[in-house]
Structure 1
Amino acid sequence: MLEAAHLRPFASTERHRVEEGLLLRSDIHRLFDSGLLAISRDLVVSVAPSLAGHASYQALEGSHLELPPTARVDREVLADLHAATTATW
């Protein structure tokens, strides 16, 4: 059900860094990797307009990703990825 999502493609970095990964539900991971879902520096979820007909995914729009207080996430990488992803929409 859950998968480790890399914020930077492993093929380009060839390293695993905890702060460059998220644990996501498998379908959400696929949307994230396909550029149909993005997460901002402030951990707010954005969903591609092309998913407007999918109520369960559109309901994620504007929601906040919940992380444990001790979680380390590279918010600069998230910001860059969010900008690059949403620019394609």
Structure 2
Amino acid sequence: MSLVVIVALWLPVSFSAIACDACKKQQPKLLQGITHGSGPDSNWDYLIVSAMVIITVYSAYAAIKCLVKPKEKNYQDIKNVIFN
């Protein structure tokens, strides 16, 4: 069984077990049962978190893209010197 499948099946179960009953009542419907605390104070909190998620996903995509298919073709490049 693939690791991705295991994580996809495990995440919904783990999210429901994170928050206590008092915190579930304080959270907005979107976040109920996921986290402890009072929840976001304003819509700016959602905007900030959304921007951070977009930046993080793009950074991960760019890093993986550069690792999988680098554009350096020069044989004197440090990467090629190490590989050879």
TM-score category by the smaller chain? under 0.3
TM-score w.r.t. structure 2 length? 0.27
Greater C-alpha Rg? 2
Structure having the higher strand fraction is: 1
Identify the structure with bigger relative contact order (alpha carbons < 8 Å, sequence gap 6+): 1
Higher helix proportion:
2
